[in-house]
Amino acid sequence: MTRTSRVFPVLTWLFICLVACLALLLADAAQAASAPSGKWLAEDIDGGGVIDRLQTTLEIRDDGIVTGMGGCNRYAGSAKFDSTTIKFLPMASTRMACSTAVMKQESKFHITLDKIRAWRIDEAQRKLILLDGQGFEMMRLSRMD
């Protein structure tokens, strides 16, 4: 048996393993881009920006469970989504009172969530863009995780 005949099967096996690993990595990347899952921080709500240092968050799990902080109150609910569309279902929320400005932003956040019908991710900037039924940007959030 020559050296080449011994090395060739090993190299072939290594190449197959490398291709399999790359396929798994590409599948994970494609799945990440096909779901809005993750923890997100609101940067803009309906074109009005957000209050500095106020944590309005949105966490979407792969199974559709939604949780977060409106700024004053915690909320939870669910969403139905596919590769481009999303619909947030009614949310349950705590009922704490905060300053008027914080409560206005929180209310605007929930009202805007009701209008959302589509989503896209800007991977380069790590942003989740939520759109209304006409395709207008209604909310922009940055990835927290």
pLDDT, one tens digit per residue, over 86-97 is 999 999 999 999
Cα–Cα distance for residue pair 127/36, rounded to 1 Å: 10
Cα–Cα distance for residue pair 119/106, rounded to 1 Å: 20
CB atoms within 10 A of CB 35: 17
CATH value of 35-143 in 2.40.128.270, 3.40.50.1580, 2.40.110.10, 2.40.128.20: 2.40.128.270
pLDDT of residue 28: 42
| Average predicted confidence (pLDDT) for the chain | 86
Q: Where are the domains of the chain?
A: 1-33, 35-143
Strands 118-122, 127-131: pairing kind: antiparallel
Per the CB < 8 A criterion, the answer to whether 56 and 50 are in contact is: yes
Per the CB < 8 A criterion, the answer to whether 87 and 60 are in contact is: no
First to last CA, the chain: 53
Better-scored residue on pLDDT, 145 or 67: 67
Per the CB < 8 A criterion, the answer to whether 123 and 36 are in contact is: no
pTM: 0.76
